[in-house]
Amino acid sequence: MATTTRNQAADGDAAPRPPYADLHSGRAVGLYGPDEQLGALNLLTPERVAAASSLVRTGQVFSLNASLYYPSPHPASAISRRRAPTHVVHRSERARDDLWDGLYTQYSSQWDGFLHVRDVEHGCFYNGSTDESKGIEAWAERGIAGRGVLLDVGRWLAEQGRPLDWRTDAVITVENLRGCTADQRVAIDNGTILLLRTGWETGFRASSYAERAALATPDFRCPGIDPSPEMLEYLWDGGVAAVAADNFTLEPFPFRDPWLHSALLNRLGIPVGEFWHLDALADACRAAGRYEFLLTSAPLNGPGSAGSPANALAIL
């Protein structure tokens, strides 16, 4: 299988997207229409979803969703208002109802929607919008399904003798992703939902509660992908429809300049996922010798919402 990225009109696309180098100020405003709120999810055409269904061979299903209480303690508890929810059970003689009180939709495995952050330069949301009523419901009403690709970059770096320390703000470069892609013999192509395993979850879960708590300070560090124009070009020109990782912020934390969240969400319309549960899937992909699968996600249909639990499945 080819290991290069490509971006061309095919599989239901009306026309080729311009390369990243041709986007004015790195913004894809109006590319799919003046008011649309799907962004790069437009690449998940019916033809590509149908093709992705052919990747189901063993029928193994992997939930990519951690517990609503994960991570505990939250590494950003010292700098974020997000807290774990409280489970309240209302009981009657014949039934019971659940109330998840204080549920932050972006606490555990999550999607960051287009209302999550503003463009730091232009002050708007995706597609130049200033309308805060247009939230993640656009994704929920459509649903997300397509070809998922896992890059187990944490394991690949370790095998290269360059293990990634999950407690630092180490940078994962484009060259790292290309090397991992070539080693796994998998292609990044139009409509790919890209999953990146950094090994953050593995390190966090292997640590004691005391060790985790010691990290939850204003000086918290987290590794992630390089927030550079080169990375944006790699993701855009590769036709990535959405990108998610097992870590806290996808990009390194503390945030750097340029801010990858704003560039992806506001300027390019590429959804961002964080804290995805990828370890079991990574082990299965390694055992099977293939790193592509059918991926589905059903975001919460919350009008005006800035994010949602991932509600994601990978099917091998």
The pLDDT value recorded for residue 75 is: 84
The pLDDT value recorded for residue 47 is: 98
Q: Where are the domains of the chain?
A: 23-315
The pLDDT value recorded for residue 15 is: 56
CA 53 from centroid of its chain's CA atoms: 20
37 class by beta-carbon count within 10 Å (0-12 exposed, 13-18 middle, 19+ buried): buried
Tens digit of pLDDT per residue, the chain (316 long)? Answer: 433 344 444 455 655 789 999 999 999 999 999 999 999 999 999 999 999 999 999 999 999 999 999 999 888 777 778 889 999 999 999 999 999 999 999 999 999 999 999 998 889 999 999 999 889 999 999 999 999 999 999 999 999 999 999 999 999 999 999 999 999 999 999 999 999 999 999 999 999 999 998 888 888 999 999 999 999 999 999 999 999 999 999 999 999 989 999 999 999 999 999 999 999 999 999 999 999 999 999 999 999 999 999 999 999 9
The pLDDT value recorded for residue 11 is: 52
**Adjacent-strand bridge partners of 87:** 100
Strands 110-112 and 272-274: antiparallel
| CA distance linking residue 13 with residue 42, whole number of Å | 9
Which CATH fold topology does 23-315 show?
Glucose Oxidase; domain 1 (3.50.30)
222 close to 252: Cβ distance less than 8 angstroms: yes
The pLDDT value recorded for residue 10 is: 44
| Predicted model pTM | 0.93
195 close to 151: Cβ distance less than 8 angstroms: yes
